[in-house]
Amino acid sequence: MPELPEVEVTRQGITPYLVDQTVVDLVVRNASLRWPVPELAKQIIGQTIRQVRRRAKYLLIDTDAGTSIVHLGMSGSLRILPHDTPVEKHDHIDLVLANGRILRFNDPRRFGAWLWCQLPDEAHPLLEKLGPEPLTDAFNVNQLAAALAGKKKAIKLCLMDNHIVVGVGNIYANEALFAAGIHPEAEAGKIDIERLTVLVAEVKQILAHAIKQGGTTLKDFTNAEGKPGYFAQKLHVYGRGGETCTLCGNLLSETRLGQRTTVFCSICQPR
């Protein structure tokens, strides 16, 4: 599943081909995504794309008339292709540009979304309650400590809660807690400020590194062969239950927390 780094790398990859381009057509072959794709053609054809932003895992393609809100879901991908590229299975939407290229949305499992928003997008129901972006200064130890105050929930569940901070999916929650030496089931409200400071720094560092790495491994958004795969990263705990800890050699423990696989080292991450 694309996580925040993959979505950010997608944004960086497609932006140069979209900005300042006029939309000449919108082809929707299958509107049955996670939510029905609205009738957009009237609003979007003739508009010029101003910028491509990201909020959490949503890509926001701005025009003067409104914003396309795109989510890759479980299996979605976006590519920039020549307009006459043959259509393949699961190619649900093409945004056709004046420069002869298309932005093509492919999504085998159809948990992705393509919506439209004329409001200021911060007011859109999908976006308005989101917490701060992890890579901005709005996510900091004071904000996190305030958000966790009095919370008895496990820290890992809080870290994956979009109201507290966005874009920290299961992989990165596992990795950041390992890097910070915090047990994933530790009671969120009882973690001291020193350890939260380390946790904030690790979340930022791990996501920034993943984006940087993705920029080198997933740079080709203009290739019709092979859809962009989501990049494999060097992980210390995620997917390594029962293997040895990279720091101490202890066997990593695996449990379920909020229905998500949780891997940790009981020595390096004491309760």
For the annotated binding site for DNA, the residues are: 90, 109, 151
Tell me how many residues contact Zn ion (CB under 5 A).
7
Q: How far is the CB of 202 from Zn ion (least distance, A)?
A: 15
Q: Could you give the count of Cα atoms lying within 13 Å of 246 in the half-sphere of its Cβ?
A: 11
CA separation for the pair 240, 252 (Å, rounded) = 7
Composition of the chain by helix, strand, coil, percent to 5: 25, 25, 50
Nearest CB to Zn ion, comparing residues 26 and 265: 265
Of residues 231, 197, 222, 268, the one with CA closest to residue 1? 231
Nearest CB to Zn ion, comparing residues 101 and 183: 183
What is the pattern of x (binds Zn ion, CB under 5 A) and - over residues 191-230?
Answer: ----------------------------------------
Instruction: Take residue 270 and report the two structure tokens written for it.
Output: 């004491």
Residue 247 makes contact with Zn ion by CB under 5 A? yes
Residue 180 makes contact with Zn ion by CB under 5 A? no
Residue 267 makes contact with Zn ion by CB under 5 A? yes
Which region among 108-116, 123-131, 175-183, 242-250 touches Zn ion (by CB under 5 A)?
Answer: 242-250
Q: At what angle do helices 170-180 and 193-217 cross, to 10 degrees?
A: 130
Q: Are 30 and 110 in contact (CB under 8 A)?
A: yes
Query: Which of 162, 250, 255, 258 is in the footprint of Zn ion by CB under 5 A?
Result: 250
Which region among 1-9, 131-139, 185-193, 237-245 touches Zn ion (by CB under 5 A)?
Answer: 237-245
57 catalytic per annotation = yes
Query: Which of 30, 248, 255, 258 is in the footprint of Zn ion by CB under 5 A?
Result: 248
Query: Which of 97, 245, 257, 263 is in the footprint of Zn ion by CB under 5 A?
Result: 245
CA separation for the pair 29, 77 (Å, rounded) = 16
**Gyration radius of the chain over CA positions:** 20
Nearest CB to Zn ion, comparing residues 45 and 247: 247
Nearest CB to Zn ion, comparing residues 224 and 248: 248
Residue 125, classed as helix, strand or coil, is coil
**Amino acid identity of 210?**
A
Residue 265 makes contact with Zn ion by CB under 5 A? yes
Q: Exactly one of 2, 5, 134, 184 is catalytic; name it.
A: 2
Calculate the alpha carbon distances from 9 to 3, 52, 204, 223, 231 in Å: 10, 12, 16, 15, 10
Degrees, nearest 5: CA angle 145-56-255: 65
Which region among 53-61, 161-169, 197-205, 263-271 touches Zn ion (by CB under 5 A)?
Answer: 263-271
Residue 202, classed as helix, strand or coil, is helix
2 catalytic per annotation = yes
CA separation for the pair 240, 250 (Å, rounded) = 12
The secondary structure element, H or E, covering residue 155 is helix 155-159
Residue 173 makes contact with Zn ion by CB under 5 A? no
Q: Exactly one of 11, 55, 57, 79 is catalytic; name it.
A: 57
Q: How far is the CB of 207 from Zn ion (least distance, A)?
A: 22
Residues interacting with Zn ion, by CB under 5 A? 245, 247-248, 250, 265, 267-268
Catalytically active residues, by annotation: 2-3, 57, 260
